[in-house]
A and B are shown apart, each in its own frame.
Chain A
Amino acid sequence: QQQVKQSPQSLIVQKGGISIINCAYENTAFDYFPWYQQFPGKGPALLIAIRPDVSEKKEGRFTISFNKSAKQFSLHIMDSQPGDSATYFCAAKNSGGYQKVTFGIGTKLQVIP
């Protein structure tokens, strides 16, 4: 059962464009939503995270938008650069107790010059 659905699985964006990756979750107990960035041959690294008490969080060119009623959240990468080419994972977690992180299937982003 895929508790966090992520789309698209792959994305090609021109340099300078906006990259948008969408995720939807089912478990209403989730209250922490991180995004991870993974470069080839490396482990995932935390990029940005949001809690459901805010609808948007921005860090540099990266923005998370969160819609609690729709149980959806998305990552926007503004002014996409070739160095942003990587696999992006959305994730969700219930922050109470010993809870695991549930990952989406990942989106392979390619930013072309």
Chain B
Amino acid sequence: DTAVSQTPKYLVTQMGNDKSIKCEQNLGHDTMYWYKQDSKKFLKIMFSYNNKELIINETVPNRFSPKSPDKAHLNLHINSLELGDSAVYFCASSKDYSQPQHFGDGTRLSIL
């Protein structure tokens, strides 16, 4: 069973479009995260939720809007996509902020 699953795995779209990435975890964790990994492999946190509440909101353009409908899901919606948004986006979860994070396999977003 996949612990942290993201869909889609690949997303190719035009500049200016709006897209969403979904994430689900079946580990019973309370905390979920979104990370962006750029072409140089640098991992940077974007958002973090704890029990559906937004806790960490790094300096991210407001075109990015996370939504957590329940503790097991954290989705990421991106408006007006730009070339610089091309990256791999990882969802992760942990039992709480003191516990190790479990990552999904990523969504590779390519903007044409």
Contact = CB atoms under 8 A, between A and B. Distances in A.
Interface string A20-46: 000000000000101000100111111
Contacts of B58: 100
Interface in A37-66: 38, 41-46, 49
Interface stretch (B12-20, B68-76, B77-85, B97-105): B97-105
For chain A, the bracket of interface size reads 20 to 34
Nearest to B96: A98
Contacts, number: 50
B32 interface: no
Given A49-B100, A97-B97, A98-B97, A43 B90 contact: yes
Contact of A42 (B48, B56, B97, B105): B105
Main secondary structure of the interface of A (DSSP, over half): loop
Contact of B45 (A32, A38, A41, A100): A100
Contacts of A97: 97
B105 A98 contact: no
A67 interface: no
Given A41-B105, A43-B104, A100 B4 contact: no
Interface string A72-93: 0000000000000001010000
Contact of A43 (B40, B97, B106): B106
Interface string B24-49: 00000000000000001111110010
Interface of A: 32, 34, 38, 41-46, 49, 87, 89, 95, 97-101, 103, 105-106, 108
Given A100-B58, A105-B42, 10 more contacts: A38-B41, A41-B105, A42-B105, A43-B105, A45-B102, A45-B103, A46-B102, A98-B56, A100-B48, A103-B42
List of 6 A-B pairs having minimum Cβ-Cβ separation, nearest first: A43-B103, A103-B43, A46-B100, A106-B41, A98-B55, A95-B98
